[in-house]
Amino acid sequence: MSKTYPITVSSWTLGDQCSFADRCRAAVQAGYDGIGLRAETYVDALNEGLTDQDILNLLAENNLRCTEVEYIVQWCEEPRSYEEKYKEQVCFHMCDLFGVEHINTGLMENYSVDYMAKKLQELAKRAGKYTIALEPMPYSGMNDLKKTWAIVQKADCDNVKMLLDTWHWYRAGQPYDLLTKEQAKKVVSIQLDDAYERPYAETVLRDESMHDRLAPGVGSAGTEAFIKMIKDAGVDPKVIGVEVISDQYMAKGIDWVAKYTYDNTIRALQNAWPEILTD
């Protein structure tokens, strides 16, 4: 296991229908260092009858860690629903339980930079010692690096950083020389995947994101170019997540998905950033 840069199978990559034990088994047999969990998949594990200690025991038995916690949303809404308030608290608990220091965070709703920065300050205060990792997504209120960076700067919180994902970067139409060294210091983790050359229509682009991504290096998004940009800018990712959400892949079973996505991720990293695999 790489303690410095754990290669992590993100929660959505293995879907939401498998048991926690099967999730761990598929991940470790494929070669992954860690698994990601959403609040929902953690609650699913509890619903199986597992306790927190059972979950920790299963991770230990498989020589795995949970290295990625997600997903806080709707943090700008007034009033915030009890569901989202509770989900946020579950994420904080998961960080404490698994020793994860950052929480992947998005925002579908679109507001002004000033308003989002103000609400982000409130979220950052609630998060306390944990880092909020903002994820730009082209169909969201933080649709690209430019707006997300403006929000980060305006909020000016020590515990606010960014998560950058290949698929989202490519679908936002951003070049692979855009990330600056200053911005790179605020990138806490990355997610790798790939995309078809032709996108879904803008009105249903989120459907592509949730059903039709590709494994790193097998599509048109230029995963290796993305990795090289991350490397050259000086990003020091706490996690290398692999978030490949694909109905077509899932039809082949989670064991196939885990192995296929891991092998292609390692191949892309070996070509673009081999040093990170030896640390």
Residues 6+ apart with CB under 8 A from 60: none
pLDDT at 103: 98
For residue 36, give the H/E element and its range.
strand 34-38
What pLDDT digit, counting tens, does each position of 209-246 carry? 999 999 999 999 999 999 999 999 999 999 999 999 99
Number of Cβ within 10 Å of residue 96's Cβ equals 13
Surface-to-core class of residue 168, CB atoms within 10 Å of its CB (0-12 exposed, 13-18 middle, 19+ buried): buried
Burial class (CB in 10 A: 0-12, 13-18, 19+), 251: exposed
- CATH 3.20.20.150 matches 7-277: yes
pLDDT of residue 63: 97
Look at residue 158 and tell me whether its pLDDT is greater than 50: yes
Mean pLDDT score, 120-128: 98
Number of neighbours of residue 272 by Cβ within 10 angstroms: 20
pLDDT at 164: 98
Residue whose pair of structure tokens reads 């929660």 in the numeric block: 11
**CA dihedral for 49, 55, 57, 59, sign (positive or negative):** positive
**Dihedrals φ, ψ of 173, to 5°?**
70, 30
Pairing label, strands 102-105, 34-38:
unpaired
Give the mean pLDDT of 82-111: 98
Q: How far is CA 196 from CA 116, 128, 216, in A?
A: 32, 39, 11
Instruction: Give yes or no for residue 167 having a pLDDT over 70.
Output: yes
Q: What is the mean pLDDT of residues 36-47?
A: 98
Q: Please tell me the distance from the alpha carbon of residue 55 to that of residue 57, in angstroms, as a whole number.
A: 5
Q: Where residue 1 falls among pLDDT bands split at 50, 70, 90?
A: very low
Over residues 36-63, the mean pLDDT reads 98
Share of residues in the chain with pLDDT > 90 (%) = 98
pLDDT at residue 30 tops 50: yes
Residue range 117-124: average pLDDT?
A: 98
Break the chain into its structural domains and give their ranges: 7-277
Q: Say how far apart CA 216 and CA 35 lie, in whole Å.
A: 17
pLDDT band at 72 (very low <50, low <70, confident <90, very high): very high
Burial label, 128 (beta-carbon count in 10 A; 0-12, 13-18, 19+): exposed
- pLDDT over 70 at 17, yes or no: yes
Based on DSSP, count helices (H) and strands (E) in the chain, helices before strands: 12, 8
DSSP label of 129: T
What the block records as the tokens of 160 is 């606010």
Rounded to a whole number of angstroms, the CA Rg of the chain reads 18
pLDDT band at 2 (very low <50, low <70, confident <90, very high): low
Q: What is the pTM of this model?
A: 0.97
> How does pLDDT run across 168-211, given as a tens digit for each residue?
999 999 999 999 999 999 999 999 999 999 999 999 999 999 99
